[in-house]
């Protein structure tokens, strides 16, 4: 339940900030100008919706790629706040049932990182594809202007060439069909590298997360600039 508490606190803070801006009553033209400037610079929300990779499993939150993305954003003084909605062990089916709850507050950019646990369990690709599409549909229905980024993953080779090829293609097809941005492989340069992963060989360590953050940033940063 920890991720729910963290996310709920983040949502509450954002809601409070929005309410304060909405209720502000400027008393002069100069104040009105200042309020307009504040509104223009209101922080927008990037929601990272994923599994243990997003949740920075085995590490402190500040070592994970979501926190590192926030550091990059802050260093450039960009008006965005990252919300980490990672849930360890999450499958696409779990994400589909959970997404409505995390959409309770406005989202400007939605980073979808799910499917890895489906592959580890060898779940049917048709079901995974349907669940991911349903998540995208819910985001678009609630926030039509929200930009979506899909984080691609690879399946372990022991599942056979047909499954692994179709699994990788699933992300490309979803991105093309929904006109979303695509991170081709979230763990590029990290997956399969013992020095960059925890002893389980699955989850990145702190050094691995630094590389993952660069993989995400290459795709995300242009969207941040376009959305201003």
- Residues 193, 145: Cα–Cα separation, whole Å: 38
Reply yes or no on whether 209 is catalytic: no
Set 27, 60, 75, 200: catalytic member = 200
Length of the chain as a residue count? 228
Set 108, 118, 128, 203: catalytic member = 203
- Helix and strand numbers, DSSP H then E, in the chain: 8, 5
- Residues 219, 182: Cα–Cα separation, whole Å: 7
Reply yes or no on whether 60 is catalytic: no
Reply yes or no on whether 88 is catalytic: no
Backbone angles phi, psi at 190, to 5 degrees: -120, -45
Set 52, 118, 209, 213: catalytic member = 52
- Residues 90, 98: Cα–Cα separation, whole Å: 10
**What Cα–Cα distance (Å) separates residue 223 from each residue in 33, 60, 66, 77, 159?**
28, 27, 16, 15, 34
Q: What are the catalytic residues?
A: 52, 200, 203
């Amino acid at each position: 339940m920890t991720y729910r508490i963290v996310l709920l606190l983040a949502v509450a803070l954002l809601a409070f900030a929005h309410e304060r801006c909405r209720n502000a009553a400027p008393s002069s033209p100069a104040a009105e100008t200042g309020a307009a400037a504040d509104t223009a610079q209101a922080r927008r929300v990037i929601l990272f919706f994923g599994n243990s990779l997003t949740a920075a499993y085995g590490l402190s939150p500040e070592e994970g790629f979501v926190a590192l993305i926030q550091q990059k954003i802050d260093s450039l003084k960009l008006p965005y706040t990252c919300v980490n909605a990672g849930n360890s062990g999450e499958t696409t089916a779990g994400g589909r049932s959970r997404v409505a709850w995390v959409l309770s507050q406005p989202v400007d950019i939605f980073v979808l990182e799910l499917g890895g646990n489906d592959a580890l369990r060898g779940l049917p690709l048709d079901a995974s594809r349907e669940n991911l599409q349903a998540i995208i549909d819910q985001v678009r229905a609630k926030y039509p202007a929200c930009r979506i980024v899909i984080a691609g993953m690879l399946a372990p080779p022991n599942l056979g060439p047909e499954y692994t090829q179709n699994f990788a293609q699933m992300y490309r097809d979803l991105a093309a069909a929904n006109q979303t941005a695509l991170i081709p492989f979230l763990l590029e340069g990290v997956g399969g590298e013992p020095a960059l992963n925890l002893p389980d060989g699955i989850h990145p360590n702190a050094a691995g997360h630094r590389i993952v953050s660069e993989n995400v940033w290459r795709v995300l940063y242009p969207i941040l600039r376009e959305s201003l």
